[in-house]
Structure 1
Amino acid sequence: MTRPSDIKPREGAQPAALYKDWEVGAEFPPLSFTVTPDVVREYASVVDADLANYVIDGRQAAPTNVLLVYMMAVMYRKYPPQQGGIMIGNTIAFHSPVWADEDTEVVGSGRLTDKYEKKGRKYICYDVEFKRPDGRLLMAVNHTSAFPE
Protein backbone atom coordinates (compact mmCIF):
# COMPACT_ATOMS: atom_id res chain seq x y z
CA MET A 1 0.00 0.00 0.00
CA THR A 2 1.29 3.43 -0.91
CA ARG A 3 -0.22 6.36 0.92
CA PRO A 4 0.44 9.78 -0.65
CA SER A 5 2.35 10.79 2.49
CA ASP A 6 4.77 7.90 1.81
CA ILE A 7 5.91 9.42 -1.49
CA LYS A 8 5.10 13.14 -1.31
CA PRO A 9 7.91 15.32 0.08
CA ARG A 10 6.97 17.79 2.79
CA GLU A 11 7.25 21.53 2.27
CA GLY A 12 10.48 22.73 3.82
CA ALA A 13 12.10 19.27 3.90
CA GLN A 14 14.49 20.26 1.09
CA PRO A 15 15.24 23.42 -0.88
CA ALA A 16 12.12 24.38 -2.83
CA ALA A 17 11.90 24.96 -6.56
CA LEU A 18 11.33 28.64 -7.27
CA TYR A 19 9.42 30.09 -10.21
CA LYS A 20 12.68 30.79 -12.06
CA ASP A 21 13.57 27.07 -11.80
CA TRP A 22 10.51 25.82 -13.69
CA GLU A 23 11.22 24.97 -17.34
CA VAL A 24 8.36 24.65 -19.82
CA GLY A 25 8.53 21.19 -21.41
CA ALA A 26 10.44 19.62 -18.51
CA GLU A 27 9.41 16.01 -17.93
CA PHE A 28 8.63 14.68 -14.45
CA PRO A 29 10.31 11.36 -13.66
CA PRO A 30 7.86 8.44 -13.50
CA LEU A 31 6.50 7.65 -10.04
CA SER A 32 5.29 4.10 -9.34
CA PHE A 33 2.92 3.36 -6.48
CA THR A 34 0.15 0.96 -5.47
CA VAL A 35 -3.46 1.80 -4.68
CA THR A 36 -4.80 -0.95 -2.42
CA PRO A 37 -8.31 -1.69 -1.16
CA ASP A 38 -7.20 -0.13 2.16
CA VAL A 39 -6.24 3.11 0.40
CA VAL A 40 -9.59 3.13 -1.41
CA ARG A 41 -11.52 2.63 1.86
CA GLU A 42 -9.47 5.28 3.66
CA TYR A 43 -9.91 7.78 0.82
CA ALA A 44 -13.65 7.10 0.59
CA SER A 45 -14.05 7.68 4.32
CA VAL A 46 -12.07 10.93 4.27
CA VAL A 47 -14.08 12.42 1.40
CA ASP A 48 -17.34 10.91 2.70
CA ALA A 49 -17.90 9.07 -0.60
CA ASP A 50 -20.85 6.75 -0.92
CA LEU A 51 -19.26 3.69 -2.55
CA ALA A 52 -22.68 2.67 -3.88
CA ASN A 53 -22.18 5.48 -6.43
CA TYR A 54 -19.08 3.76 -7.85
CA VAL A 55 -20.33 0.39 -9.05
CA ILE A 56 -19.59 -0.49 -12.67
CA ASP A 57 -21.26 -3.55 -14.17
CA GLY A 58 -21.76 -4.94 -10.68
CA ARG A 59 -18.13 -4.40 -9.62
CA GLN A 60 -17.02 -1.96 -6.94
CA ALA A 61 -14.76 0.81 -8.23
CA ALA A 62 -12.86 3.39 -6.22
CA PRO A 63 -14.09 6.98 -6.17
CA THR A 64 -13.00 8.36 -9.52
CA ASN A 65 -10.72 11.03 -8.05
CA VAL A 66 -8.75 8.71 -5.72
CA LEU A 67 -5.61 9.30 -7.81
CA LEU A 68 -5.69 13.08 -7.36
CA VAL A 69 -3.99 12.81 -3.98
CA TYR A 70 -0.89 11.54 -5.82
CA MET A 71 -0.82 14.30 -8.47
CA MET A 72 1.52 16.72 -6.75
CA ALA A 73 3.86 13.91 -5.67
CA VAL A 74 4.54 13.31 -9.38
CA MET A 75 5.42 16.97 -9.97
CA TYR A 76 7.44 17.21 -6.74
CA ARG A 77 9.90 14.57 -8.03
CA LYS A 78 11.23 17.25 -10.39
CA TYR A 79 10.28 20.41 -8.50
CA PRO A 80 10.36 20.13 -4.68
CA PRO A 81 7.46 21.89 -2.92
CA GLN A 82 7.47 25.54 -2.08
CA GLN A 83 5.42 26.90 0.80
CA GLY A 84 2.57 29.19 -0.10
CA GLY A 85 1.38 27.54 -3.32
CA ILE A 86 -2.26 28.05 -4.25
CA MET A 87 -4.17 25.50 -6.31
CA ILE A 88 -5.97 27.43 -9.03
CA GLY A 89 -7.69 24.63 -10.93
CA ASN A 90 -7.70 21.17 -12.44
CA THR A 91 -9.14 19.73 -15.61
CA ILE A 92 -9.54 15.98 -15.19
CA ALA A 93 -10.30 13.21 -17.68
CA PHE A 94 -11.17 9.78 -16.30
CA HIS A 95 -10.37 6.91 -18.66
CA SER A 96 -10.43 3.63 -16.73
CA PRO A 97 -11.50 2.71 -13.19
CA VAL A 98 -9.34 1.83 -10.24
CA TRP A 99 -11.04 -1.24 -8.77
CA ALA A 100 -11.76 -1.17 -5.05
CA ASP A 101 -11.21 -4.91 -4.55
CA GLU A 102 -7.67 -5.29 -5.93
CA ASP A 103 -4.24 -3.76 -5.74
CA THR A 104 -3.70 -1.36 -8.63
CA GLU A 105 -0.17 -0.66 -9.74
CA VAL A 106 0.05 2.89 -11.07
CA VAL A 107 2.74 4.90 -12.83
CA GLY A 108 2.39 8.68 -12.71
CA SER A 109 4.30 10.89 -15.12
CA GLY A 110 3.94 14.36 -16.53
CA ARG A 111 5.48 17.56 -17.76
CA LEU A 112 5.39 21.30 -17.26
CA THR A 113 3.23 22.79 -20.01
CA ASP A 114 3.29 26.53 -19.26
CA LYS A 115 4.37 29.25 -16.86
CA TYR A 116 3.31 32.87 -16.91
CA GLU A 117 2.75 35.97 -14.83
CA LYS A 118 -0.58 37.74 -14.55
CA LYS A 119 -1.55 40.63 -12.26
CA GLY A 120 1.58 40.14 -10.16
CA ARG A 121 1.09 36.40 -9.63
CA LYS A 122 3.31 33.66 -11.01
CA TYR A 123 1.49 30.63 -12.46
CA ILE A 124 2.64 27.19 -13.49
CA CYS A 125 0.64 24.64 -15.48
CA TYR A 126 1.44 20.97 -15.77
CA ASP A 127 -0.05 17.71 -17.00
CA VAL A 128 0.02 14.43 -15.12
CA GLU A 129 -1.05 11.04 -16.47
CA PHE A 130 -1.72 8.00 -14.35
CA LYS A 131 -1.37 4.69 -16.17
CA ARG A 132 -1.23 1.03 -15.34
CA PRO A 133 2.21 -0.52 -16.00
CA ASP A 134 0.82 -1.96 -19.27
CA GLY A 135 0.22 1.62 -20.47
CA ARG A 136 -3.56 1.71 -20.03
CA LEU A 137 -4.53 5.27 -19.11
CA LEU A 138 -6.47 5.63 -15.86
CA MET A 139 -6.67 9.41 -15.49
CA ALA A 140 -5.17 12.57 -16.99
CA VAL A 141 -4.99 15.92 -15.19
CA ASN A 142 -4.10 19.43 -16.32
CA HIS A 143 -3.24 21.48 -13.23
CA THR A 144 -2.62 25.18 -12.58
CA SER A 145 -1.07 26.61 -9.41
CA ALA A 146 0.19 30.01 -8.35
CA PHE A 147 3.42 30.21 -6.35
CA PRO A 148 5.18 33.06 -4.61
CA GLU A 149 8.73 33.87 -5.66
Structure 2
Amino acid sequence: MAHFLSDLFNSIFTPGPTPSIIIATNASFAGLQLVLLVLLFLTYSVHFAVLSFLCAGLWWAINWFVTELETANQKEKEANQIREARKVRDVTPVEDSGTETEGGGNQSKELPPAPRSEGLLRPNDLQAALRKRRSLGEASSGDLSTDSEWDKVEEMGDMDR
Protein backbone atom coordinates (compact mmCIF):
# COMPACT_ATOMS: atom_id res chain seq x y z
CA MET A 1 0.00 0.00 0.00
CA ALA A 2 2.86 2.37 0.80
CA HIS A 3 4.40 1.60 -2.59
CA PHE A 4 1.12 2.45 -4.32
CA LEU A 5 0.81 5.76 -2.49
CA SER A 6 4.38 6.78 -3.31
CA ASP A 7 3.83 5.73 -6.92
CA LEU A 8 0.58 7.70 -6.97
CA PHE A 9 2.33 10.78 -5.59
CA ASN A 10 5.10 10.51 -8.18
CA SER A 11 2.65 9.94 -11.02
CA ILE A 12 0.98 13.27 -10.30
CA PHE A 13 4.09 15.00 -11.59
CA THR A 14 4.51 12.86 -14.72
CA PRO A 15 2.58 13.82 -17.85
CA GLY A 16 -0.08 11.54 -19.24
CA PRO A 17 -2.31 8.97 -17.62
CA THR A 18 -0.28 6.57 -15.50
CA PRO A 19 -1.66 3.25 -14.26
CA SER A 20 -1.66 4.37 -10.61
CA ILE A 21 -3.62 7.55 -11.45
CA ILE A 22 -6.17 5.52 -13.42
CA ILE A 23 -6.61 3.05 -10.57
CA ALA A 24 -6.99 5.85 -8.02
CA THR A 25 -9.50 7.68 -10.23
CA ASN A 26 -11.62 4.57 -10.78
CA ALA A 27 -11.51 3.70 -7.07
CA SER A 28 -12.57 7.25 -6.14
CA PHE A 29 -15.49 7.22 -8.55
CA ALA A 30 -16.57 3.78 -7.38
CA GLY A 31 -16.51 5.00 -3.77
CA LEU A 32 -18.49 8.11 -4.71
CA GLN A 33 -21.09 6.00 -6.50
CA LEU A 34 -21.40 3.76 -3.44
CA VAL A 35 -21.88 6.77 -1.13
CA LEU A 36 -24.48 8.29 -3.47
CA LEU A 37 -26.34 4.96 -3.65
CA VAL A 38 -26.41 4.65 0.16
CA LEU A 39 -27.62 8.25 0.50
CA LEU A 40 -30.30 7.62 -2.12
CA PHE A 41 -31.68 4.66 -0.14
CA LEU A 42 -31.48 6.55 3.18
CA THR A 43 -33.16 9.77 2.03
CA TYR A 44 -35.15 8.77 -1.06
CA SER A 45 -34.11 12.10 -2.56
CA VAL A 46 -34.04 12.38 -6.35
CA HIS A 47 -31.02 14.66 -5.99
CA PHE A 48 -28.78 11.71 -5.22
CA ALA A 49 -30.04 9.85 -8.27
CA VAL A 50 -29.21 12.86 -10.44
CA LEU A 51 -25.80 13.23 -8.79
CA SER A 52 -25.16 9.53 -9.33
CA PHE A 53 -26.06 9.90 -13.01
CA LEU A 54 -23.72 12.89 -13.36
CA CYS A 55 -20.97 11.01 -11.55
CA ALA A 56 -21.37 8.02 -13.87
CA GLY A 57 -21.20 10.29 -16.92
CA LEU A 58 -18.04 11.98 -15.70
CA TRP A 59 -16.50 8.64 -14.79
CA TRP A 60 -17.23 7.29 -18.28
CA ALA A 61 -15.89 10.47 -19.93
CA ILE A 62 -12.62 10.31 -18.02
CA ASN A 63 -12.07 6.66 -18.93
CA TRP A 64 -12.96 7.40 -22.57
CA PHE A 65 -10.44 10.26 -22.64
CA VAL A 66 -7.73 8.03 -21.17
CA THR A 67 -8.32 5.39 -23.86
CA GLU A 68 -8.21 8.08 -26.57
CA LEU A 69 -4.89 9.34 -25.19
CA GLU A 70 -3.48 5.82 -25.19
CA THR A 71 -4.66 5.30 -28.78
CA ALA A 72 -3.10 8.59 -29.86
CA ASN A 73 0.18 7.70 -28.15
CA GLN A 74 0.19 4.32 -29.89
CA LYS A 75 -0.42 5.94 -33.28
CA GLU A 76 2.36 8.45 -32.60
CA LYS A 77 4.76 5.61 -31.79
CA GLU A 78 3.81 3.86 -35.04
CA ALA A 79 4.28 7.11 -36.98
CA ASN A 80 7.73 7.58 -35.44
CA GLN A 81 8.67 4.03 -36.44
CA ILE A 82 7.53 4.71 -40.01
CA ARG A 83 9.51 7.99 -40.08
CA GLU A 84 12.63 6.19 -38.84
CA ALA A 85 12.18 3.46 -41.45
CA ARG A 86 11.87 6.10 -44.19
CA LYS A 87 14.98 7.88 -42.96
CA VAL A 88 16.93 4.62 -43.06
CA ARG A 89 15.55 3.81 -46.50
CA ASP A 90 16.37 7.27 -47.87
CA VAL A 91 19.89 7.29 -46.43
CA THR A 92 20.94 3.92 -47.83
CA PRO A 93 22.72 4.45 -51.17
CA VAL A 94 21.16 3.00 -54.27
CA GLU A 95 23.62 1.12 -56.43
CA ASP A 96 23.96 2.49 -59.95
CA SER A 97 23.38 -0.25 -62.47
CA GLY A 98 24.82 1.83 -65.30
CA THR A 99 21.51 2.15 -67.11
CA GLU A 100 19.39 5.22 -67.18
CA THR A 101 15.86 5.02 -65.93
CA GLU A 102 12.93 7.32 -66.22
CA GLY A 103 13.36 8.32 -62.56
CA GLY A 104 16.50 10.26 -63.37
CA GLY A 105 19.39 8.32 -61.91
CA ASN A 106 20.73 8.06 -58.39
CA GLN A 107 17.96 8.39 -55.83
CA SER A 108 20.22 9.15 -52.87
CA LYS A 109 20.94 12.63 -54.27
CA GLU A 110 17.27 13.47 -54.67
CA LEU A 111 15.24 15.12 -51.96
CA PRO A 112 12.67 12.95 -50.22
CA PRO A 113 9.15 13.51 -51.48
CA ALA A 114 7.21 16.24 -49.73
CA PRO A 115 4.49 15.02 -47.40
CA ARG A 116 1.06 15.15 -48.97
CA SER A 117 -1.47 17.41 -47.40
CA GLU A 118 -5.01 16.32 -48.03
CA GLY A 119 -6.93 19.42 -47.05
CA LEU A 120 -4.43 22.20 -47.70
CA LEU A 121 -3.73 23.94 -50.99
CA ARG A 122 -0.17 23.94 -52.24
CA PRO A 123 1.13 27.23 -53.73
CA ASN A 124 0.49 26.07 -57.31
CA ASP A 125 -3.05 25.00 -56.46
CA LEU A 126 -3.62 28.30 -54.68
CA GLN A 127 -2.54 30.28 -57.73
CA ALA A 128 -4.80 28.22 -59.97
CA ALA A 129 -7.72 28.79 -57.61
CA LEU A 130 -7.05 32.53 -57.62
CA ARG A 131 -6.92 32.55 -61.43
CA LYS A 132 -10.29 30.81 -61.53
CA ARG A 133 -11.75 33.41 -59.20
CA ARG A 134 -10.31 36.26 -61.24
CA SER A 135 -11.62 34.79 -64.47
CA LEU A 136 -15.09 34.44 -62.97
CA GLY A 137 -14.99 38.05 -61.82
CA GLU A 138 -13.72 39.25 -65.21
CA ALA A 139 -16.78 37.83 -66.93
CA SER A 140 -18.79 40.67 -65.46
CA SER A 141 -18.00 44.34 -65.93
CA GLY A 142 -15.48 44.13 -63.08
CA ASP A 143 -17.49 46.47 -60.87
CA LEU A 144 -19.15 44.50 -58.13
CA SER A 145 -21.33 47.30 -56.79
CA THR A 146 -25.10 47.22 -56.86
CA ASP A 147 -25.26 50.37 -58.99
CA SER A 148 -23.59 48.66 -61.94
CA GLU A 149 -26.11 45.86 -61.72
CA TRP A 150 -28.96 48.39 -61.86
CA ASP A 151 -27.28 49.98 -64.90
CA LYS A 152 -27.36 46.59 -66.61
CA VAL A 153 -31.04 46.19 -65.75
CA GLU A 154 -31.79 49.64 -67.18
CA GLU A 155 -29.85 48.78 -70.36
CA MET A 156 -31.89 45.62 -70.73
CA GLY A 157 -35.05 47.68 -70.32
CA ASP A 158 -33.89 50.13 -73.00
CA MET A 159 -33.25 47.24 -75.40
CA ASP A 160 -36.82 45.96 -74.97
CA ARG A 161 -38.33 49.32 -75.86
Relative contact order higher in (CA < 8 Å, ≥ 6 apart): 1
TM-score past 0.5 threshold: no
Which one has a bigger Cα radius of gyration? 2
* TM-score where L is the length of structure 1: 0.20
More strand per residue: 1
More helix per residue: 2
